[in-house]
Structure 1
């Protein structure tokens, strides 16, 4: 179904990934992030493999983060590729906005409460899980809690498009059994479709 936003003009309903990037740059020209507007525009873009396949690089051992665009410096747009059964750690978002759109397959998001500073080595509390399929969009920030993303399929890969604003290069990762946190660097498997120099990656979130 075409949304009322789409009916108001092409700008709000990008038909290609390039149009989506251009629209997002315009939206992020302001200091204030309109969460509803960003989510609507990302939902209105319909996934097309011809748009994103040059950024979709899979690794047999871990999921990959592939930079599509740095926007106007206010956000990063990244394609994440998930092999069968792959998932992230439980992690924060360094006070950034995080939007996730499913481009192919499906992913499960599990939400967790922030661990109490007074409780040490306690198991983290999962407050719910949601499965997202093609063209659905999820949103989270640190005030909503922590999350883990997983491709629970054992026979299908998944691809997702993530927007982080502002961009960050490190976040907190948590051990589910003990709530112990560590700082993890975020790295890119590729940038603009080209493989980055190989490094030993500490974390991919």
Structure 2
């Protein structure tokens, strides 16, 4: 089983104002503060999520695994600007190919392992026949 948090919405990280979070409430408060601005620093949010040392016990009330599919649980509506979600996959499940049109998505694996494949967006009209894995 794997659990991941996803933050869906862009600037370099100002180290002087960077602050790591110790709880999910801290994380929500810091993210909300960043989304009060018109322009969101995605690099800051990436660092915030990467340095967040979460306690899996904080998420037990949200996490419920359903065999064969991904379960999504809303943790915070993010003052109307983003959604903080807990995604739960059982070992035999995955997610379909999808995009986050005009949005960013930041993922943190909090337990288990997660494999992500990114794809190039086709430039021609026939999108269904031309999806290709993105070169690393």
Normalised by the size of structure 1, how large is the TM-score? 0.55
- The alignment status of 1:99 with 2:106, answered yes or no, reads yes
Equivalent residues, number: 123
Counterparts of 1:26 and 1:56, CA distance in 2: 26
Q: Secondary structure of the residue that 1:108 maps to in structure 2?
A: coil
Shift of 1:57: 1.1
Match of 1:28 in 2: 35
Higher strand share: 1
Shift of 1:40: 1.0
- The alignment status of 1:108 with 2:109, answered yes or no, reads no
Higher helix share: 2
Instruction: Mark the CA change 1:64 to 1:120 in structure 2 (over 3 Å): closer, same or farther.
Output: closer
The CA RMSD over aligned residues, in Å, is 2.1
Deviations 1:161-193 (A, max 9, x none): xxxxxxxxxxxxxxxxxxxxxxxxxxxxxxxxx
Which of 1 and 2 has higher RCO (CA within 8 Å, sep 6+)? 2
Contact persistence 1:110–1:128 (CA under 8 A): no
Normalised by the size of structure 2, how large is the TM-score? 0.80
Task: Give 5+ residue unaligned stretches, structure 2.
Answer: 1-14
Contact persistence 2:75–2:85 (CA under 8 A): yes
Query: Where does 1:80-99 land on structure 2 (aligned, <5 Å)?
Result: 80-99=87-106
Shift of 1:78: 0.2
Task: Give 5+ residue unaligned stretches, structure 1.
Answer: 130-205
